[in-house]
Amino acid sequence: MTPLDDFRYGPLDPLPPPVHKPRADMNFRAIKGMNDILPGEVERWQQFERAFRDTVELFGYREIRTPIVEPTSLFVRSIGEATDIVEKEMYSFTHHDDALTLRPEGTAGAVRAFVEHHIDQREPVTRWYYLGPMFRGERPARGRYRQFYQVGCELMGDPGPASDAEMIDMLVRFFQRLGIGQLEVVVNSLGGPATRPRYKQALVEHLTPRASQLSEDSQRRLTTNPLRILDSKDERDIAAIAGAPSVIDLLDDEDRAHWQKILTYLERLGTPYRADPQLVRGLDYYSRTLFEVRSSAGLVGAQNALGGGGRYDGLAAEIGGPATPSIGFALGIERILLAMGDQTAAPRPIVMIAPIGERASSEALVLAREIRDLGVAVDVDTRGTSLRAMLRRANALGAPLCVVIGDSEVDAAQVQLKDLAGHNQSVVARADAATQVASLLKAASAGGSG
Ligand code: HAM
């Protein structure tokens, strides 16, 4: 009798629960505001990233990967000296004699790459997307981290307004596809290079007599970056802003025509939106169109801006490239996953092979390769431990199937298949094992997802 013959599948001991106590003897922790994303959680990220790629590739966007570190001056120049990001949130350091910064966002690097590689000479319109970590030294809270992840799109070479409307519609449809409810899509126009200074001046004229009522931050911004006052959540600022001139009233004819056409396209597409003349965003490179998508669904909490973007027609020229009308957006992955709530994503189904003894172990490695060649994931338990321990692990991994091989199976050119979900077992010829396992697993996965 081999140990297999007297094995009867029964309830197995559960794995010990995870330990959440801090380890007293360990001195290392992830940096505050920077998180590990462990298996179990990472599947939701992958699912989100797949959905994003799927969506934007349908619109002709192609992936670009740029360095995480760029010259500090690139961000100062593009995001703007008087912005919160540049003033207080960047992770900047000097390496040898170079002033470098961990990217706080993806647009500056994408435009730098566009200009550096003369992309405009290869194609009149460029559609790029990216995903990856960004770094901002903000005060950590739910939905606000110091290392966070964005997906984003940049469309360069098209002055709009049809491309503006298409981008906003793509975004809204993407959120709808994810099943995120309570969506609010806010749009605005800041006008072009001529409007912005006029609007700033009108705002300063409105706020200067009320300066003493403003928060301390906004009193400072009144001279450095008055538009940001519109973004303030401070009640004193909100009161002072009431009755301020609307940027829409100050648009010149071209800006106004651009803005109105966007709205016409959005109406035609049936894209829900709310025009809000007070929408401003924390980056100085914007001109004309601005938009933001918010939701208070799921576990979002106070950080309800899931994504935002806008037109940045002057940025390429600002960093030394050709004048290139452009528009883009970025979404915060963590916030979107919070908005999606507690949904779980199933890990890829996996088959466990449990070999007992050395001969079985080498057979298991060969069989695992055969099964993987059929596109099925396999984990061989190579620890040389007891069958019970291996089956416990198979259960913990959620493996629907375990292949058990002992000496007698090797001698008889057979394997045992244990259907862990159905609690039954069968003996299969070794020669047929890989195809059998693959078809059983595919049937089990199809049953599970249907
Ligand atoms: P942003 O509004 O600064 O725009 O960031 C876009 C999104 O990233 C936010 O709506 C939010 O979901 C997420 N996010 C920002 N900061 C954090 C944080 N500290 N923790 C977690 N999530 C965060 C940009 O970054 C522009 N580059 C968007 C763009 C692209 N405009 C034109 N092209």
The closest residue, in CA terms, to atom 10 on ligand 1 is 307
- The tens place of each residue's pLDDT in the chain, 450 residues long, gives 333 333 323 333 334 556 667 777 888 999 999 999 998 899 999 999 999 999 999 999 999 999 999 999 999 999 999 889 999 999 999 999 999 999 999 999 999 999 999 999 999 999 999 999 999 999 999 999 999 999 999 999 999 899 999 999 999 999 999 999 999 999 999 998 888 888 989 999 999 999 999 999 899 989 888 988 988 888 999 999 988 999 999 999 999 999 999 999 999 999 999 999 999 988 999 999 999 999 988 888 888 999 999 999 999 999 999 999 999 999 999 999 999 987 778 888 999 999 999 999 999 999 999 999 999 999 999 999 999 999 999 999 999 999 999 999 999 999 999 999 888 899 999 999 999 999 998 887 776 543
Q: What is the pTM assigned to this prediction?
A: 0.90
Looking at 306, 339, 372, which one is the last position of a domain?
339
Instruction: Round to whole Å and give the CA distance between 130 and 62.
Output: 8
Give the position, in ligand 1's atom list, of the atom nearest the Cα of 85: 3
Do 283 and 146 belong to one domain?
Answer: yes
The answer, yes or no, to whether any atom of ligand 1 lies below 6 A from the CB of 175, is no
Helices 195-207 & 216-224 angle (0-180, nearest 10): 140
Do residue 281 and residue 415 come from a single domain? no
Query: Same structural domain for residues 150 and 170?
Result: yes
Sign of the C-alpha dihedral, residues 316, 229, 233, 217?
positive
Is 89 near ligand 1, meaning CB less than 6 Å away?
A: no
Nearest Cα residue to atom 11 of ligand 1? 332
For ligand 1, mutation pick of 37, 66, 142, 148 (most atoms within 8 Å of CB) = 148
Beta pairing partners, 415: 428
Tokens linked to 108: 């500056």
The residue among 282, 310, 339 that closes a domain is 339
Secondary structure (H, E, C), 165-214: HHHHHHHHHHHHHHCCCCEEEEEEECCCCCHHHHHHHHHHHHHHHHHHHC
Number of domains composing the chain:
2
Sign of CA dihedral 68, 178, 341, 307: positive
Q: Find out whether 11 and 415 touch, Cβ atoms under 8 Å.
A: no
Whether residue 386 is found in the same domain as residue 332: no
State the CATH number of the domain containing residue 379: 3.40.50.800
Q: Could you tell me if residue 406 is inside a domain? A: yes
Measured in whole angstroms, how far is the alpha carbon of residue 220 from the centre of its chain? 34
**Statement to judge: residues 189 and 258 lie in one domain:** yes
* Co-location of 397 and 296 in the same domain: no
Give me 2's structure tokens.
Answer: 């081999």
Q: Given this model, what pLDDT does residue 19 score?
A: 61
57 and 147 belong to one structural domain: yes
Whether 161 and 299 map to the same domain: the answer is: yes
Is residue 189 packed enough to be buried (19+ CB in 10 Å), middle (13-18) or exposed (0-12)?
buried
Cβ(152) to ligand 1 under 6 A? yes
Domain identity same for 315 and 370: no
Q: What are phi and psi of 110, to 5 degrees?
A: -65, -45
Same-domain status, 148 and 273: yes
Name the DSSP class of 138.
P
Q: Ligand 1: does its nearest atom lie under 6 Å from the Cβ of 130?
A: no
φ/ψ of residue 92, rounded to 5: -115, 150
Query: Does the residue 224 lie in any domain?
Result: no
Query: CA separation (Å) from 280 to 248, 276, 348?
Result: 13, 9, 42
350 phi, psi to nearest 5 deg: -135, 145
In a domain, 439, yes or no: yes
User: Can you give the residue range of the structural domain that contains 159?
Assistant: 42-194+252-339
Q: In this structure, is residue 34 part of a structural domain? A: no
Residue-level pLDDT at 4: 36
Other CB atoms within 10 Å distance of the CB of residue 117: 11
Domain match, 326 and 365 both: no
In a domain, 202, yes or no: no
Residue nearest to atom 17 of ligand 1 (CA): 144
Report the CATH number at residue 161: 3.30.930.10
H-helix or E-strand spanning residue 54: helix 42-58
Of 32, 155, 185, 335, best ligand 1 pocket probe by most atoms within 8 Å of the beta carbon: 335
Nearest-CA residue for atom 20 of ligand 1: 144
- Asked if the structure places residue 241 within a domain, the reply is no
Tell whether 76 is covered by a domain: yes
User: CA separation (Å) from 171 to 139, 166, 205, 307, 396?
Assistant: 28, 9, 36, 9, 38
Instruction: Report the separation in Å between the CA atom of 137 and the middle of ligand 1, taken as the mean of its atom positions.
Output: 13
Q: Please work out whether the CB of residue 306 comes within 6 Å of at least one atom of ligand 1.
A: yes
Domain boundary, last residue among 315, 339, 363: 339
Sign of torsion over alpha carbons 299, 301, 303, 305 = positive
Q: What is the DSSP letter of 83?
A: S
pLDDT of residue 228: 85
CB count within 10 Å of CB 213 equals 13
Q: Is position 436 within any domain?
A: yes
Token pair listed for 244: 């301020």
Nearest Cα to Cα of residue 327 among 173, 161, 175: 161
With a 6 Å cutoff on the Cβ, whether 144 touches ligand 1 is yes
- Could you tell me if 362 and 332 lie in one domain? no
